[in-house]
Amino acid sequence: MISRKHFLFGLIFASLFGGLIALGGFHLVYTPEEGIKSFDQVQPVKFTSNFDTASIAVPDGLNFVHAAEVTMPSVVHIRSTFNGSGHTASRNPLDEMFRDYFGDRFREREGQQRRGRSTGSGVIISGNGYIVTNNHVIDNADDIEVLLNDNRTYAAKIVGTDPTTDLALLKIEESNLPYLTFGDSDDLRIGEWVLAVGNPFEFRSTVTAGIVSQKARNINILRDRSGLQIEAFIQTDAAVNPGNSGGALVDLKGRLVGINTAIATHTGSFEGYSFAVPASLVNKIMDDLLEFGVVQRALLGVNITDVNAQLAEDQGLEILTGIFIMRVNEGSAAFDAGIQEGDVITKVGDVDVKNVAELQEQIARRRPGDKVEITYVRDGDLKSVLTTLKNTQGNTEIVEARNSVVIEGATFEEISAEEQEALGIDGGAKLSDVGNGKWSDAGIDEGFIVTSIDKQVIRNVQDLRNALLNKSGGTLIEGIYPNGDEAFYGIGW
């Protein structure tokens, strides 16, 4: 009989022997892990599925990589500063209406002087340094600095501006720059992918994506004394914020299809929709500014409104889309072509137009003297007529560039270098048309050249405008007449 002592000893021995066997078996199938030298050693997770992800990768032409790589080197950062000697940097009407969504403009008081700064974006459109941006980014700027994508910095000069489309052409002195080619914004389709590239919130070279939400959109953002503003925006849902203004809207081939200009917002930041001037219009405006220094604006010479269901019912129209003519200006292109009040325009050339924005864009893309066929409906009949477009002066001549400003009914212009030399003055603003108002009431005659206001030197019409901005009380106006007679006047504001 086995004693209890021997039984316990055997049980312990069996347990130890079994453990040794298990441990030996584990070492036969296990290789000790070496020390970790990189997280790559512990993170190469592989799935057992043989699913080939390459078959669902977004192919070239449908992703955004190529367009972004092409566009970013050609989009610049623009910094405009407003210095002056005691004058106040003025704000564009866009700034007042929209709290300057795109300029990120701010003011800082230094003693009794006020300085301003505006930042935005621009797009290089030629290798020799021409840049397109929004007019409200550089409006009234004393100095304009352009920062390239590769961090090179240049001083820029203004070649020309067009407030009616909120566009401006700048020039920097450089060659062999990367630039974007113009695409055909007419070919854009609703739902098509586009990229917005700019410098929002000072974040350089930012790319966002969206689709074309609508075309020829009028949002009533532009204001111009002439009433000739053009709004036929491309609407997208690409994110655009303060600083994007003047930046590029491109298609997936990296072609420029628009200049980002505005957003619909209640807060000043992006809330879902942005708006760009279409490239086909941009191209024409830039060509005009390059060749003439001023936009050659073609006009049909009519007062118009969109056709809608209510208007169609009131006027007995048989169509629900088109542009209804409320009035034809005497002596205008439309008047000469026999177009009448009550006609409904449906086509310009071979392009169908359904609303005022589309019609205005098509006409604005032409120059005075251009002939274009206008198709319209009169009394239910479809008609067409060839019209010769006219300029703002009512003729077909080329309009010469002239930097002028109208203040209180008086028109001021720049003076020539020859006149400055003859009179021994350094700049000034010449009164070319007195008109009715404070200037004529003060007894100032045409030809008077303003050289200072309240002892502040006036070198050009922009200085004049800035000096008189928000003026109040009595103002001392000093200057000289073309015959050399110096004079001074007091004007109350």
Listing DSSP states for 409-439 in one string gives TEEEEE--HHHHHHHT-S--EEEEE--SSHH
| Residue of 80, 245, 274, 332 marked active site | 245
| Alpha-carbon radius of gyration of the chain | 34
Q: In whole angstroms, give the CA distance from residue 292 to residue 409.
A: 27
**Cβ–Cβ under 8 Å, residues 165 and 227:** no
| Residue of 166, 251, 343, 463 marked active site | 166
Q: What is the DSSP letter of 58?
A: P
- Is 6 among the residues known to form the active site? no
| Residue of 80, 90, 100, 136 marked active site | 136
**Cβ–Cβ under 8 Å, residues 84 and 212:** no
Q: Which residues pair with 258 in a beta bridge?
A: 249, 278
**Cβ–Cβ under 8 Å, residues 468 and 492:** no
Tell me, letter by letter, the H, E, C secondary structure of 115-144: EEEEEEEEEECCCCCEEEECHHHHCCCCEE
* Residue 205 burial by Cβ neighbours in a 10 Å radius (0-12, 13-18, 19+): middle
- Is 136 among the residues known to form the active site? yes
Cα angle 246, 250, 251; round to 5: 165
- Is 314 among the residues known to form the active site? no
Q: Which residues, in sequence order, are CB contacts of 433 under 8 Å at separation 6+?
A: 410, 411, 446
Active site residues: 136, 166, 245
